[in-house]
Amino acid sequence: MKTAFRLKIEKYALGGFGIGYHEGKAVFVPYTAVGDEIEAELLRERKDVAFARASAYLSRGEKVVRPECEAFGAPIPCGGCDYLHLEYPEQLSRKTALLRELLQPLAPELQIPETLAAPVTRHYRNKSFMPVGEDASGLNYGIFARWTHQIVPHRLCLLHPPVFGTIARRCLEILTKTGVRAYDEASHSGTLRHIGFRCTQNLSRVQLILVTRSGKLPFTRLLVKQLTEEFPAIVSIVQNINRERGNVILGAEDKVLFGEPWLQEDLAGLKFRIHYRSFWQINTPMLSLILGQIKALLKPEDVVFDAFAGIGTLGLALSSEVRKVLCIEENPDAVTDGEFNARRNDLANVSFLRAKTEDALPALLAPGITGPQELPTVLLLDPPRGGVRPEALHAIIQARLPRIVYLSCSPATLHRDLKILLGSGLYRLTKIQPCDMFPQTWHVETLAVLDLIDTATAE
C-alpha cells in the first residue's frame, strides 16, 4: 500500500475510528466522519487492515461541526476526544449503532434502545491526571497524543472543568520559578510527572494531586499558601511519589501537603468521602441517571453483592431499596472510605469485604458454604476495562444467581463476558442500555441485565 492515498470514510468502528477501504483492506482513521473524503497518510499496515491519519480533508461528511478546541485541531491532535467534530446527537447515534452491531447477536429478540444522553456534555469530568512537560518558558501540561507519549499542550480542555486548567497553569508557574523540572521518561530524571485533580459536582471543593519522581519538592509551604489563598475551593493538596519507570501514574507513597487525602461529595441523598486513589465515576450527573436505571430493577427483599465496589458508590446509593448489601473491593483506601461512608450515612444494612472479586466470589458462592453471608439475589458487576476473570464468571454460573446487573465501560470485554454467561444456557439478556458517560469520546458505558431463565419463566 502506498504511504499516501485518497480515502472515503464509509463506517465507524470501536476505538474512535472511521473506516474506509483501499486496495482491499479496511483502513482505520481517527477523527473522521462517515462521508469524509481525505488524503490519508499510512501509519502502519497489517495483513488485513491498515491504520492511517487524515493529512487533509478534501470534503466533510454530514453532521460534522468545527471543533472548539485548538488541541483537537492541532497537526498532532490531543488524544482526549474522539468525537468533538460530530454533532452531539450524531455521537449518540454512532454509539448506539456500534453497541447494537456488537451485542445484538447475543440477544436477537432484545430491543437495544438509543444511548442515554448525558445531562452535561462539556466540562463534565470530575477527575483528571495530565502529564507534565516543559518548553523554553517552563513547565506545561496537556494530554498525550494518540499512540504516543507526546504531550499536546492545553489551556482549556472541553472535557475538564475550566478551574482545572486555571489552577494547573498557576501551579506550574510557581513550580517553574522554584526550579522544578518536568519528568523525562527516557532518562528517568526530573521531578514532576503528572498534575491531577478531583472536584465535586458543584465545583465547591477541589483536590490537587502532584505526582513526583522523588519525595523532594521544594518550597511546598509557599506553593500551598499561594494556591489556597488564590483558589479557596482547594481543600486538599497531595504529593504522590512514583519512583518507578513506566506509565503507571500513581506510586505507592504520598504526602498530604494540605487538608486530607480525600474529597467529600453528595450523591443520591448521601455524603461520600472519596480517597484520591479510589474509583468514582467521572461523570456524576450521568451516574445519577444510571443509579435510577438500576433502582428500577430492585425489590425490597433483595440481597445485593456489589462486586468491584470501589468505595461502594452503587451499593451504598442503592441500599435503601434492598434488604442487604455486601460490597467487595480490594483497594484498602476504598474499603476504608466505604466503611466510613456507611457509618456516616447510618446504613446498617451495608458491609464491606476487602478482597479481589475473582478470589471472593468463588468462595462466597460455593455450594454448601457456611457462614454469615446469604447468596445474593442480585449481583452487581462494575469491573475495570479488563472485565471479569473467567473463574468469577464460572462461580456465578454455578451459583445460578437470579439476576446479574453488569455495568461496563468496555464494549469488547462486556461482549466477551456476556458470551460466557449466556453460553451456560442458564441466563438470558433482558436489558441492554447504552449510557453516554463519556461525551465527545467514542467510549460508552453499558448497563446489561441477565436473568436466570427458569426464574424469568416462573415470573
The mean pLDDT of 153-171, rounded to a whole number, is 95
First-last CA distance in the chain: 58
HEC secondary structure over 69-85: CCCCCCCCCECCCCCCC
Helix (H) / strand (E) element for 93: namely: helix 88-103
Q: Report whether pLDDT(235) > 50.
A: yes
Q: Residue 181 class from Cβ within 10 Å (0-12 exposed, 13-18 middle, 19+ buried)?
A: middle
The mean pLDDT of 351-377, rounded to a whole number, is 83
Cα(5)–Cα(291) distance, integer angstroms: 48
Q: Report whether pLDDT(58) > 70.
A: yes
Q: Are 410 and 387 in contact (CB under 8 A)?
A: yes
pLDDT given for residue 455 in this prediction: 47
Which residue ranges form the domains of the chain, and what is each CATH number?
A: 1-62 (2.40.50.140), 96-120+283-458 (3.40.50.150), 127-265 (2.40.50.1070)
The mean pLDDT of 356-371, rounded to a whole number, is 80
- 3-state secondary structure (DSSP) of residue 247: coil
HEC secondary structure over 200-227: CCCCCCEEEEEEECCCCCCCHHHHHHHH
pLDDT given for residue 7 in this prediction: 97
Helix pair angle (88-103, 411-423), 10° resolution? 30
pLDDT tens per residue, range 201-229: 999 999 999 999 999 999 999 999 999 99
Q: Report whether pLDDT(136) > 60.
A: yes
Res. 370 pLDDT band, cuts 50 70 90: very low
| CA distance to 51, 80, 107, per residue, from 42 (Å) | 6, 22, 38
Q: Residue 308 class from Cβ within 10 Å (0-12 exposed, 13-18 middle, 19+ buried)?
A: buried
Q: Which amino acid, 134? A: E
pLDDT tens per residue, range 312-332: 999 999 999 999 999 999 999
Partners of 29 in the beta sheet?
18
pLDDT tens per residue, range 90-133: 999 999 999 999 999 999 999 999 999 999 999 999 999 999 99
Cα(436)–Cα(446) distance, integer angstroms: 8
Q: Residue 296 class from Cβ within 10 Å (0-12 exposed, 13-18 middle, 19+ buried)?
A: exposed
